[in-house]
């Protein structure tokens, strides 16, 4: 039985977007702590005769809270994508896959999964006993189940 699947490269998307995890705090080139220091400095040096409007102050605090929550959520999402990539890669062990190689297609049994900089790579053994290592999971064109 042959199961057609989409390329498994989606697991690599988290690696490509790793820099996006801190996008919320990098919007102005400042981190959460630096932004909090700005508010404290603003409060310290405000004119006592013209204090900051309560609504404006609460609004700024809410924005900083949102930035911190966004950063926490991005960190957790990145960990989830990494765990999914690991699970997806190890799930390929023992399956037969097709990998395009120029004008031909290599078909082989996945014998090992390694990780290079957090990106899963596979090793396959072809029918003629050739071992081909360091293949990107995104290059898999078909996964054959039930071999």
What span, in angstroms and rounded, lies between the C-alpha atoms of 135 and 127? 17
What span, in angstroms and rounded, lies between the C-alpha atoms of 139 and 131? 16
pLDDT single digits (tens) 57-110: 778 778 878 888 898 999 999 999 888 888 988 999 999 999 998 899 999 999
Q: With bands split at pLDDT 50, 70 and 90, how would you rate the model's confidence at 50?
A: confident
Helix/strand/coil for 108 = strand
What span, in angstroms and rounded, lies between the C-alpha atoms of 132 and 125? 6
Which burial class, exposed, middle or buried, applies to 126 when counting CB atoms under 10 A from its CB (0-12, 13-18, 19+)?
middle
* Residue 99 β-bridge partners: 106
Question: Between 39 and 125, whose confidence is greater?
Answer: 125
Helix/strand/coil for 73 = helix
């Amino acid at each position: 039985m042959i199961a057609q699947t989409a390329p498994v490269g989606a697991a690599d998307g988290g690696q490509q977007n790793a820099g996006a995890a801190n996008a919320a705090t990098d919007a102005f080139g400042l981190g959460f702590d630096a932004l909090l220091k700005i508010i404290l400095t603003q409060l310290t040096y405000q004119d006592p005769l013209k204090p900051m409007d309560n609504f404006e102050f609460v609004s700024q605090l809410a924005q900083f809270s949102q930035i911190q929550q966004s950063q926490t959520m991005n960190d957790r999402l990145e960990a989830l994508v990494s765990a999914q990539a690991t699970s997806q890669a190890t799930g390929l062990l023992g399956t037969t896959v097709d990998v395009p190689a120029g004008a031909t297609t290599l078909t082989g049994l996945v014998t090992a999964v390694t990780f290079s900089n957090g990106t899963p790579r596979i090793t396959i053994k072809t029918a003629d006993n050739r071992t081909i290592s360091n293949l990107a999971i995104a290059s898999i064109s078909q996964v054959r189940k039930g071999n």
